[in-house]
C-alpha cells in the first residue's frame, strides 16, 4: 500500500465455470453452460506499507483430463462431458492462507452435457452460491456454497464443496459426466449428470459493500 493511503475501493469478479462437451454428436461441440462468476465490492481500510495479495480466479475448462480442469483458486475438477468449476477471486493478507481473505467473489459451477444436455452450472457469488441446474429430475445438481459450509454434493458420485474449494469429480480415471463446483468463500458441490454449484462470496472484511450473483463470463478480474 503506498504512503499516505488509508482506504482502497475494491471491485472483484469470480470466474465462470467451464463449458462442457456435447457427447450426442460425432463431432464434439463445446456448450457454454458454465455458471457465471459473482461480483463483490467494498471499501477496505489499509495502512501505508501493508502487503495485500490479489488472487484472480481462472475459468473452468472442459472435462478432458479429469483431475486438472478446475479453474485457478478453488474451482473443482470435472469429468469427461462435464466441466471444471470457476475459481474464486479474493484479496488476502497472507498468500497461502484462506483465513486471511478479506473479500471474495465466488466462481460459477461447471456445466454438464449428456445425451441430451444434463444441466447447467450454478452462478457464483452473492452470500449463497446458486445450485447447479439439473435437467433430469432424478439427478440433482450440486448445491451452492454457503457462509458456513460447502455446497451439498449433487447426484452420486458428486462431492460436497469445502472451505475455499469446489467439489471434485473424484479420483478415478473414468469419471464421466461430472461437473466441478465453483470456488469461493465456501465452494459449491459437484454432481453427476447435472450442473455444479456456484461458490459463495464474502464481504466481511470490507465496509460499504455489495455482492451480486452471476455477472462475470470468462476469467475473474479485480
User: What are the tens digits of pLDDT across the range 121-133?
Assistant: 999 999 999 999 9
Span 132-177, pLDDT tens digits: 999 887 899 999 999 999 999 999 999 999 999 999 987 655 678 8
Q: What angle do CA 106, 112, 116 make, to 5 degrees?
A: 150
3-state secondary structure of 199: coil
The residues facing 119 across adjacent strands are: 112, 134
* Residue 113: exposure state from Cβ atoms within 10 A (0-12, 13-18, ≥19): buried
**What is the CB neighbour count within 10 angstroms for residue 219?**
20
- SS3 letters across 99-133: HHEEEEECCCCCCEECCCEEEECCCCCCCCCCCCE
Round to whole Å and give the CA distance between 48 and 193: 50
Whether 215 contacts 125, CB under 8 Å: yes
What would the grid cell of residue 126 be?
452473492
Task: Check residue 110 and give its pLDDT.
Answer: 97
pTM for the model stands at: 0.95
Q: Which residue has the cell 429430475?
A: 137
Answer whether the bond into residue 15 is a cis peptide, omega within 30°: no
Query: How much is the pLDDT for 176?
Result: 83
**What per-residue confidence (pLDDT) applies to 68?**
67
> Residue 38, SS3?
strand
Give the CA-trace dihedral at 65, 189, 184, 94, to 10 degrees: -70
Could you tell me the pLDDT band of residue 90, with boundaries at 50, 70 and 90? very high
CA-to-CA separations, 15 to 3, 49, 152, in angstroms, rounded: 32, 29, 20
User: What are the cell numbers at 165?
Assistant: 474449494
**67-71, 141-145, 187-191, 207-211: which has the minimum mean pLDDT?**
67-71
- Give the span between the Cα atoms of 152 and 167, in whole angstroms: 9
The label of the residue with cell 466441478 reads: 180
Nearest to 15 by CA among 159, 160, 182, 144: 182
Amino acid at each position: 500500500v503506498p504512503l499516505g493511503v488509508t482506504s482502497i475501493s475494491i471491485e472483484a469478479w469470480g470466474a465462470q465455470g467451464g463449458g462442457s462437451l456435447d457427447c450426442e454428436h460425432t463431432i464434439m461441440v463445446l456448450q457454454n453452460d458454465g455458471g457465471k462468476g459473482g461480483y463483490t465490492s467494498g471499501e477496505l481500510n489499509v495502512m501505508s506499507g501493508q502487503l495485500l495479495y490479489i488472487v484472480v480466479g481462472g475459468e473452468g475448462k472442459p472435462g478432458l483430463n479429469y483431475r486438472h480442469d478446475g479453474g485457478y483458486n478453488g474451482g473443482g475438477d470435472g469429468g469427461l462431458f462435464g466441466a471444471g468449476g470457476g475459481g474464486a477471486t479474493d484479496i488476502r493478507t497472507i498468500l497461502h492462507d484462506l483465513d486471511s481473505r478479506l473479500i471474495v467473489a465466488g466462481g460459477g459451477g461447471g456445466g454438464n452435457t449428456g445425451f441430451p444436455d444434463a444441466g447447467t452450472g450454478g452462478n457464483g457469488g452473492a452470500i449463497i452460491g446458486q445450485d447447479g441446474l439439473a435437467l433430469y429430475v432424478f439427478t440433482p445438481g450440486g448445491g451452492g456454497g454457503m457462509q458456513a459450509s460447502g455446497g451439498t454434493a449433487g447426484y452420486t458420485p458428486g462431492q460436497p464443496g469445502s472451505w475455499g474449494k469446489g467439489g471434485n469429480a473424484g479420483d478415478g480415471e473414468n469419471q464421466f459426466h461430472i461437473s466441478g463446483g465453483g470456488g469461493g468463500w465456501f465452494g459449491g458441490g459437484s454432481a453427476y449428470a447435472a450442473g455444479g454449484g456456484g461458490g459463495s462470496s464474502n464481504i466481511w472484511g470490507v465496509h460499504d459493500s455489495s455482492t451480486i450473483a452471476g455477472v462475470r463470463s470468462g476469467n475473474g478480474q479485480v
